[in-house]
Amino acid sequence: MDFGLRQNDVMNMSRLILASASKSRADLLRGSGLEIEVIPAHLDEEIIKAEKLSVVETALKLSKAKAAFISKQYPDGLVIGADQMMECEGVRFDKPDSLEKAKEQLQFLRGKTHRLISAVGLVKNGETLWSHHQMAELEMRNFSDGFLEDYLKQVGDDVTTTVGGYRLEEIGVQLFDRIEGDYFTILGLPLLAVLDFLRKQDMIEI
């Protein structure tokens, strides 16, 4: 029996836009039955990151800024902006820009617990309608240097596409001993909260 959303179960929205280049986020939204357009926001994130806000405040501000950036170009659309940040022992991490940087990052995280903060902001016609964040804690196991080398060889440059240097839905799950938190949040989008908001706004069927 199919309990998934059928195409005609999704109410007609003027336009639903994801202001992110993340394939994982797009897949999550489309997998839930939503029709979306993907229009990444290209803005200078370093300006916001330099404001010395808390990691939660930074993620929220970035998610809303991305949505607002695209909303200016498409005021008729409901724009979803999202951001994910990672913190471990007071150190914040960005996506590694090379395999060597990813290796150093994973060596630092090995045997430790880090936090992932996923934030989302929904903007229409320049107005922020809703914002939200969720956190997850992940404890990496004390894997061997040999395992790390094999892992990096297998994932290749894909390791530079996520803030943590791993995809939990793939071989990256083998890096961990313990995970606490919402699965979708770890993938980069608090999906259940987004769907709940859309239902409350009568944008999708209850």
Which residues are catalytically annotated?
83
b/e code 71-90 from CB counts within 10 Å (16+ = b): beebeebbbbbbbbbbbbee
